């Protein structure tokens, strides 16, 4: 895969389609949550789509991905089938984790998607270890680890930065800086608000990117991944972004103003890409309508699949607490 973006029509449409899939998936999740078909915590990705979609475009199947509890977007962009994601949301056996993980713990072995982690910063040490294994077992593979700016307050972040750089691991750190750790503004929680500089303090190659700008985001990811694949050590990207929705479904957003949210919505990455493509004759009205229809159809299909899904038998509750059975099956 090239480190340069080819801004051809098909690729632009693909990126646009991927962002739209995420936006519409999240909207459907809200609907299903309000209908009480989805329960528990639900953290939505609206506004941040360009980051997951841009980074995934730079990755290959051999690469590994780790994300946070706000990871529907990464899972979709990585290619985890929407059907299995929606079934997981509904707690069905056909879900990617049999319905055991739910929204915050999406895993997909086949796509090297190592979760979904509901402990802030919890995925970073795992990413270090996966990159260690890949360096030995799958040379050339890259591990991409997503986390929010809230994670940089955690010791796990600093320990992982140091280990990755010290051991020159093939690891891409993607900090999705949406400016609020739940309700605490960045400037109230960090002495250094230029997050990428923290990586620089570990002598790591680091860059700040406009996470609302799909083409720039993808370009930065491709540069970073090329450098990592070339064996030049880890790279850190700070993607400046904003979540359009509340932190979760139980958030009155008292910590930010309507005006601020509206200002950021003017920079909507999906609208922005569409407007740019239309202005540059890369997307006509028929194509836009066709993509829209495709995405809506995929969502409807995923919901129908999930609703028709089955429930894991409670007799299997203790299955996979220990993995002996799985390993024996694999040997058989």
Partner 1 sequence: MSAAALKMTYREACKQAIRDALLADPRCFVMGEDVGKYGGCYAVTKGLLEEFGPERIRDTPLAENGFTGAGVGAALAGLRPIVEIMTCNFSLLALDQIMNNAATIPHMSGGQFAVPLVIRMATGGGRQLAAQHSHSLEGWYAHIPGLKVLVPATVEDARFMLAAAMADPNPVLIFEHVVLYNAEGELDPAVTAVDITHAKLRRPGRDVSLVTYGNSLPKCLAAAETLAADGVEAEVIDLRVLRPLDMTTIAGSLSHTRRVVIVDEGWKSGSISAEIAARLAEDALYELDAPVVRVCSREVPVPYAAQMEDAALPQVAAIVAAARRLVRP
Interface residues with partner 1 (CB under 8 A) are 64, 95-101, 105, 107-109, 114-115, 117, 119, 122, 124-134, 136-137, 155-156, 159-160, 162-163, 166, 319-324, 326-327
CB of 178 to partner 1, least distance (A): 23
Confirm if 331 and 323 have CB atoms less than 8 A apart: no
Q: What is the C-alpha separation between 105 and 118, in angstroms, rounded?
A: 7
Minimum distance between the CB of residue 64 and partner 1, rounded to whole angstroms?
A: 7
Closer residue to partner 1 (CB): 126 or 215: 126
Instruction: State the nearest-atom distance from the C-beta of 164 to partner 1, in Å.
Output: 9
Q: With respect to partner 1, which residue has the nearer C-beta, 36 or 136?
A: 136
Please return the burial class of 11, using the count of CB atoms within 10 Å of its CB with bins 0-12, 13-18 and 19+: middle
Cβ at position 12, least distance to partner 1 in Å: 33
Q: Which is nearer to partner 1, 126 or 174 (CB)?
A: 126
CB of 33 to partner 1, least distance (A): 21
266 versus 328: smaller Cβ distance to partner 1: 328
Query: What is the smallest separation between the CB atom of 11 and partner 1, expressed in angstroms?
Result: 30
Q: Which is nearer to partner 1, 133 or 296 (CB)?
A: 133
Nearer to partner 1, 284 or 310 (CB): 310
User: What is the closest distance, in whole angstroms, from the C-beta atom of residue 109 to partner 1 in the complex?
Assistant: 4
Q: How far is the CB of 106 from partner 1 (least distance, A)?
A: 9
Residue 90 or 96 having the CB closest to partner 1: 96
Q: Which H, E and C letters describe the chain, residue by residue?
A: CCCCCCCCHHHHHHHHHHHHHHHHHHHHHHHHHHCCCCCCCCCCCCCCHHHHHHHHHHCCCCCEEECCCCCHHHHHHHCCCHHHHHHHHCCCCCCCCCCCCCCCCCCECCCCECCCCCCCCCHHHHHHHHHHHHHHHCCCCCEEEEEEHHHHHCHHHHHHHHHHHHCCCCEEEEEEECCEECCEEHHHHCCCCCHHHHHHHCCCEEEEEECCCHHHHHHHHHHHHHHHHCCCCCEEEEEECCCCCCCCCCCCCCCCCHHHHHHHHCCCHHHHHHHHHHHCCCCCHHHHHHHHHHHHHHHHHHHHHHHCCCCCCHHHCCCCCCCHHHHHHHHC
Residue 165 or 241 with smaller CB distance to partner 1: 165
**Could you tell me which residues come within 8 angstroms of residue 262 by beta carbon, excluding any fewer than 6 positions away?**
none
């Amino acid at each position: 895969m090239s480190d340069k973006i080819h801004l051809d029509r098909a690729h632009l449409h693909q990126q646009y389609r991927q962002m739209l899939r995420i936006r519409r998936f999240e909207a459907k999740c809200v609907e299903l949550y309000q209908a009480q078909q989805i329960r528990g915590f639900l953290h939505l990705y609206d506004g941040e789509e360009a980051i997951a979609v841009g980074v995934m475009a730079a990755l290959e199947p051999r690469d590994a991905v780790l994300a946070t509890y706000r990871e529907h977007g990464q899972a979709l962009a990585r290619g985890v089938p929407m059907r299995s994601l929606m079934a997981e949301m509904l707690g069905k056996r056909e879900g990617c984790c049999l319905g055991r993980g739910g929204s915050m713990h999406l895993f997909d072995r086949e796509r090297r998607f190592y979760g979904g982690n509901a402990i802030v910063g919890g995925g970073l040490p795992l990413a270090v270890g996966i990159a260690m294994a890949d360096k030995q077992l799958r040379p050339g593979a890259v591990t991409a680890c997503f986390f929010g700016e809230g994670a940089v307050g955690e010791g796990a972040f600093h320990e992982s930065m140091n280990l990755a750089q010290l051991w020159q691991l093939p690891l891409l750190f993607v900090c999705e800086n949406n400016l609020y750790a739940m309700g605490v503004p960045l400037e109230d929680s960090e002495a250094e608000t230029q997050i990428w500089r923290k990586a620089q303090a570990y002598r790591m190659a680091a860059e700040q990117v406009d996470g609302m700008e799909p083409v720039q985001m993808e370009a930065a990811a491709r540069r970073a991944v090329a450098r990592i694949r070339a064996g030049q050590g880890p790279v850190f990207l700070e993607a400046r972004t904003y979540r359009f929705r509340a932190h979760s479904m139980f958030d009155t957003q008292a910590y930010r103003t309507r005006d601020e949210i509206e200002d950021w919505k003017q920079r909507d990455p999906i609208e922005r890409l569409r407007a740019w493509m239309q202005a540059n004759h890369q997307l006509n009205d028929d194509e836009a309508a066709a993509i829209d229809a495709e995405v809506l159809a995929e969502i409807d299909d995923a919901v129908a699949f999930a609703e028709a899904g089955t429930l894991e038998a409670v007799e299997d509750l203790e299955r996979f607490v220990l993995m002996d059975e799985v390993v024996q099956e694999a040997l058989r």
